[in-house]
Structure 1
Amino acid sequence: MFGLGIGELLVILVIVLIIFGAGRLPEIGEGLGRGIKNFRKAVKTPDEIDVTPPSASAAKPEPPKPESGEPQA
């Protein structure tokens, strides 16, 4: 595990306890766990890509109709 032994892990744990305090550790753990869970969920679900071609009516817009008051050329 990255070359960390028990001694190094204990030192890291003590530093974290000093910085955050014992009361905030459950909140930090819960947030970290929730983040990991959401990340795994996002990685597992494939992105939905719409590959259907546009309909024929949307592809060819109708030409503008001349108004009845104007003379046609």
Structure 2
Amino acid sequence: MKTLLFLNLGTGEIIIIAFAILLLFGGKKIPELMKGLGKGIRSFKDGMKDVENQIDKAVNEPDEKEK
């Protein structure tokens, strides 16, 4: 039986979790939830890129005080 390495879940557990989510939210709500989750992840990644760019910019610019 295959397992996911990061959660150590087997196929049976994944099927049970998927079935529980389907029961809780219904078939019509799941695409909306996944769309919202995708937007949230994309927003988080964009924010992380902005922080990295600001850090790179601060490190690569010469100090104004040294002039």
Normalised TM-score (structure 1)? 0.62
Check if 1:27 corresponds to 2:32. Answer: yes
Check if 1:16 corresponds to 2:25. Answer: no
Structure 2's unaligned 5+ residue stretches are 1-5
Aligned-CA RMSD value: 2.0
Shift of 1:18: 0.3
Structure 1's unaligned 5+ residue stretches are 54-73
Separation of aligned partners in 2, 1:52 and 1:22: 58
Structure with max Cα Rg: 1
* Identical aligned residues as a percent: 33
**Count, aligned residues:** 52
Normalised TM-score (structure 2)? 0.67
Greater relative CO, 1 or 2 (CA 8 Å, sep 6+):
2
Between structures 1 and 2, the one with greater helix share: 2
